[in-house]
Amino acid sequence: MHEGEPSLKEVRNRLLADFPMLREIRRRRPAYVEKLARTVRDCAEYNQRYAMPAALELDRRMEADHDYFAWDLVRAGLSYRFLSLVIPSSVEGMGGLAVLFSLAMEELSSACAGIANIFGAHALGVTPLLVTGSITLWESVLREIAQAEQKGEPVLMAAAVTEPSAGTDVEEPHFLGGARLSMIARKEPGGYVLNGRKCFISNGSVAKYTVVCCATDNDRPLESWTAFLVDRDMQGFSAPRVEEKMGQRACPAAELLFEDCFVPDEYVLAFEGDGMQPGTMLILAASRAPVGAIATGIARSAYEWFLHWAMKPRSGGAPIREQRVQMALADMRTRIQLARWAYLNAAMSFDNSVGKAMRGPAMKSMSLLPDSIRVSGTVKKFFQSSYGRHLASAIIKASTSSEEVTRALADASMAKAVGGDTAMYVSSLALELMGMEAGEERVWVEKCFRDAKLTQIYEGTNQLNRLTLFMADIDNSLKVRFHGNPSARGAVKGAI
Amino acid sequence: MEFTRDLLLDDERRMLLESVSSFRAQVLDEFAREMDERPSSGRVEEVWKQAGPLGITEALLSGDKGGQGMDIYSFCLVLEEVARSSAGLSALLLSHNLALRALDHSGVSDLDGVPLAGEGWAALSFPLKTAEHGYRVDFVPGGSGASLFVFALPGGDDLYRVYPGDGISVEEIIDPLGLRAAKPAALLVGEVGDEMVCGKLGEAGVGQLEAILLLGIGSISLGLARQAYDKAYAYARERYQACDYIINHEQIRLMLSDMLLGIEASGVAVRQAAVGDGSVSPRLSACRAAKVLACGRTVSATTDGVQIHGGYGYMREYGMERLMRDAKYCQSFPRSPQEEMLALLD
């Protein structure tokens, strides 16, 4: 441990103070909480050694040269296994789920949300392979990522959903039917041919594998929405442009172009038509809590820098002596804590529903098989076959009720919107109170302000997240109120 | 749409606005992004030079000294209009014009060495704060590249006229969040000697300068909010999402309406303060109130403007994020809104 780096005990105590819920969990599952604390400590160490010293310079550099990518910072994260945090242990990953990953995201974002989002967008790419139970791709792609990581070679993933004319529409099943889609996958013998564009794809220009969601029939997008795994070496795939963003610059947002890009059948996740429901819904249930955590990390960073500024002695006295600064700090602290609890609650909601299925006995039994059998041609063929894929998909579905998924998505959407609003509120108020006084703290808070705005936009705008929350809540509460009377439920939903 | 904007527009002001709008369309819109992203590229100086023949660089200098002798109301309209393309350039105009007005009103007859007609700029440095060794101004629009600095000491009414190197040190502010095209700098003033005093502003003059500064920033904010509204409104009419054009979604309509309400309320406050009570100078308290209101509402309007644009709003290419960054700087310049609000009760 280097001088000034937090000890495991310090981090554990901080976690237990910030999340009283974990105290209770620790009594029953001490090893689990210890694993969370170790991960957060790793992130804190990474921040001190690599992210903090590089963040501001990297931000400036990428403003001038947005095609640059800090591979050195990704490589520095490999020894902490940041690319394997959510990869199942059966394929040599760290076996974490939403809780572990969210805590890591808050910690990493408290230094630099852009750097954190490189790892966040990577996990977003891994998630579809997990929630669709694509066992053969776990064996090939996820194991490749985990093994390469242990050799010091970064293999990044990304997820591509947004299209130039469809952002909100491709994240909500109610709207997909009316979406103006530009991307299409056409069935050909042995696979699909993809054509069109995706935009604003985090890690899109640097990922080896990208999960791409699109319709196979744009007249029936909801029914034909499908997730494909695209290797960057596939012919017809390119990332022609990287956007110039206001913030979170360390993580490139790219436009992806597909020109007769052939994707073989075995690179289809689950089945044609499974892309939105359950596909995208499960992915968002998994990913929105970590986005809430990224936002919470930004808010925390702004708060900590503001506090540092306020405590600095001045000729007229430190600003912290002013009542307005004290009240603002109390308000910021309150909102950060509420955002924190919201994302942890949502992450737990996911881990206890979909996560439970991925950890269930059937999936776990896979890891008990010896490697020689698991990767053997027969087993591989079985899981590539329609029967095998149905079985894996059925295991996930059978272990999770639709009410649980809906609840997890609602909680995640709530956490995401609360987090984004908190990040904007805290960084904006801090800047207001600091006036025009220059200094290191101001530079960091300005970066937080720029970074924060994106958390209200990506992973569905906060407006869409609120709508998702409402729809999910209504759906579940109507089921309770009108249980056994579907026509009454339909009437109420129709009125909305 | 703005209900109150046309109320006091006579022919002369209309013509003035037309010429500024045409300058925006022909020059400023093309270079605004470059001036923000690379303020040291020389483009700011080039555009400044082109603004010279319009007379807006000497708007507040009296006619007998070669200026336009423009009234405050008209000057605010100019700042607002320029800010729609570049709030940074508008802040530079404000700083330079206030420096000229300060010299003019403190009885300085010799304008030798004062940059005029687009050939460089002077910078009003306000407010000076006591520092460890002398005084400090945290943010001076035009501070970087100014050929002349003008200031009064805290609590004093003597006007100081200082050239770079004359016992002052200018620290360029690197990559500020907003108002980059203003080429801002921090100013450190060490020893000040009597030889630097060039005139006397008087207590009323100091207050007047502050009032116009606040009103000017309020006007720049108003321009930013109007631009954000116009862009967001146009985008909402084009963008089709969730089974309809987003202009037809209640959430978006409410955001746009809120932007419009903010513009209206700020517009009334700023214009009322600019007109004043018929006396020569605007009232400081009215300008302070207008500034706080306009800047606060503009931060909200520009942030919502980015939100309505979704991912596109966050990308530099679409120009929305610049409005948000500039608005945030206007809010805290020259002091935090909380300090201004506390001063309202004084």
- What is chain A's mean pLDDT, rounded? 90
> Which pLDDT belongs to residue A316?
79
> Which pLDDT belongs to residue A409?
92
Which residues make Cβ contacts (< 8 Å) with residue B260, sequence separation at least 6?
B1, B229
DSSP character at residue A399: T
Q: For residues A256 and A351, what is the distance between their CA atoms, to the nearest angstrom?
A: 32
> Which pLDDT belongs to residue A260?
98
| Chain B residues touching residue A316 (CB < 8 angstroms) | 130
Q: For residues A214 and A160, what is the distance between their CA atoms, to the nearest angstrom?
A: 9
Indicate the number of domains in chain B. Answer: 3
Same domain, B28 and B158: no
* Each residue's pLDDT tens digit, A144-153: 999 999 999 9
Helix or strand (DSSP H, E) at A311 = helix A281-311
Do the chains contact at B314 and A461, CB–CB below 8 Å? no
Q: Which residues on neighbouring strands pair with residue B162, listed in sequence order?
A: B149
Alpha helices in A49-142 (DSSP H): 52-64, 71-78, 98-109, 113-131, 135-137
Q: Is B59 helix (H, G, I), strand (E, B) or coil?
A: coil
Given a cut of 70, whether residue A365 has pLDDT beyond it is: no
Min Cα–Cα distance to chain A from B339, Å: 9
Residue B117 belongs to some domain of the structure: no
Q: Which of B145, B174, B202 is the last residue of a domain?
A: B202
- Report whether the peptide linkage leading into residue B127 is cis, meaning its omega lies within 30 degrees of zero: yes
Residue of B nearest to A176 (CA): B242
* Each residue's pLDDT tens digit, B121-178: 999 999 888 887 889 999 999 999 999 999 999 888 899 999 988 888 999 998 999 9
In 3D space, the residue among A218, A149, A142 whose CA is nearest the CA of residue A186 turns out to be A218
| Chain B residues touching residue A57 (CB < 8 angstroms) | none
Residue B173 belongs to some domain of the structure: yes
Same domain, B295 and B327: yes
Residue of A nearest to B174 (CA): A443
Do the chains contact at A315 and B315, CB–CB below 8 Å? no
Range of the domain at B181: 122-202
Same domain, B214 and B332: yes
* Each residue's pLDDT tens digit, A11-50: 999 999 999 999 999 999 999 999 999 999 999 999 999 9
Q: Is A438 helix (H, G, I), strand (E, B) or coil?
A: coil
Q: For residues B211 and B203, what is the distance between their CA atoms, to the nearest angstrom?
A: 12
Given a cut of 80, whether residue B269 has pLDDT beyond it is: yes
| Chain A residues touching residue B34 (CB < 8 angstroms) | none
> Which pLDDT belongs to residue A306?
98
Same domain, B49 and B75: yes
Given a cut of 70, whether residue A369 has pLDDT beyond it is: no
Same domain, B126 and B64: no
Min Cα–Cα distance to chain B from A224, Å: 18
Residue B5 belongs to some domain of the structure: no
Tokens matching residue A140: 């090939």
Do the chains contact at A463 and B307, CB–CB below 8 Å? yes
Alpha helices in B2-146 (DSSP H): 11-23, 29-37, 43-51, 72-85, 87-105
Same domain, B244 and B320: yes
Which residues make Cβ contacts (< 8 Å) with residue A273, sequence separation at least 6?
A216, A223, A224, A225, A226
Given a cut of 80, whether residue B5 has pLDDT beyond it is: no
**Quick check: B309 and B235 in contact, CB under 8 A?**
yes
Given a cut of 60, whether residue B1 has pLDDT beyond it is: no
Residue B153 belongs to some domain of the structure: yes
Min Cα–Cα distance to chain A from B188, Å: 12
* Each residue's pLDDT tens digit, B193-219: 888 898 888 877 889 999 999 999 999
pTM over 0.90: yes
| Chain A residues touching residue B338 (CB < 8 angstroms) | 324, 432-433
Q: How confident is the model at residue B2 (pLDDT cuts 50, 70, 90)?
A: low
In 3D space, the residue among A207, A292, A304 whose CA is nearest the CA of residue A251 turns out to be A207
Residue of B nearest to A319 (CA): B339
Same domain, B99 and B132: no
Residue B73 belongs to some domain of the structure: yes
- Which candidate in A429, A448, A450, A463 is best for mutational testing of the B interface (most B CBs within 10 A)? A463
Same domain, B98 and B153: no
Half-sphere exposure of A489 (CA within 13 A, CB side): 14
Q: How confident is the model at residue A374 (pLDDT cuts 50, 70, 90)?
A: low
Given a cut of 60, whether residue A493 has pLDDT beyond it is: no
Size of interface A-B (CB pairs under 8 A): 105
Same domain, B216 and B337: yes
Q: How confident is the model at residue B332 (pLDDT cuts 50, 70, 90)?
A: very high
Q: CA of A164: how far to CAs of A170, A196, A372, B284, in Å? A: 11, 10, 45, 49
> Which pLDDT belongs to residue A446?
98
| Chain B residues touching residue A315 (CB < 8 angstroms) | 130-132
Do the chains contact at B306 and A178, CB–CB below 8 Å? no
**Quick check: A419 and A339 in contact, CB under 8 A?**
yes
Q: Which of B202, B236, B269 is the last residue of a domain?
A: B202
Given a cut of 80, whether residue A487 has pLDDT beyond it is: no
A224-235 mean pLDDT: 96
Least confident segment among A3-7, A159-163, A288-292, B321-325: A3-7
Give Rg (Cα) of chain B. Answer: 20
What is the CATH number for B126? 2.40.110.10
- Domains of chain A plus CATH, in order, are 8-155 (1.10.540.10), 159-273 (2.40.110.10), 276-491 (1.20.140.10)
Min Cα–Cα distance to chain B from A163, Å: 11
Least confident segment among A198-202, A400-404, B324-328: A400-404
Name the residue facing B177 among A162, A449, A461 (closest C-beta). Answer: A449
Same domain, B70 and B19: yes
> Which pLDDT belongs to residue A373?
64
Residue B315 belongs to some domain of the structure: yes
Given a cut of 70, whether residue B258 has pLDDT beyond it is: yes
Q: At what angle do helices B320-332 and A402-434 cross, to 10 degrees?
A: 50
A160-164 mean pLDDT: 95
A196-218 burial, b for 16+ CB within 10 Å, e for fewer? bbbbbbbbbbbbbbbbbbbbbbb
Q: Which of B170, B202, B234 is the last residue of a domain?
A: B202
Residue B111 belongs to some domain of the structure: no
Please indicate whether residue A135 or residue B257 has the higher confidence score (pLDDT).
Answer: B257
ipTM for this model: 0.95
Same domain, B150 and B78: no
Q: Residue A459, exposed/middle/buried by CB under 10 A (0-12, 13-18, 19+)?
A: buried
* Each residue's pLDDT tens digit, B95-113: 999 999 999 998 888 888 8
Same domain, B56 and B145: no
Do the chains contact at B325 and A450, CB–CB below 8 Å? yes
Name the residue facing B138 among A436, A453, A456 (closest C-beta). Answer: A436
DSSP character at residue A473: H
Do the chains contact at A435 and B325, CB–CB below 8 Å? no
Residue B304 belongs to some domain of the structure: yes
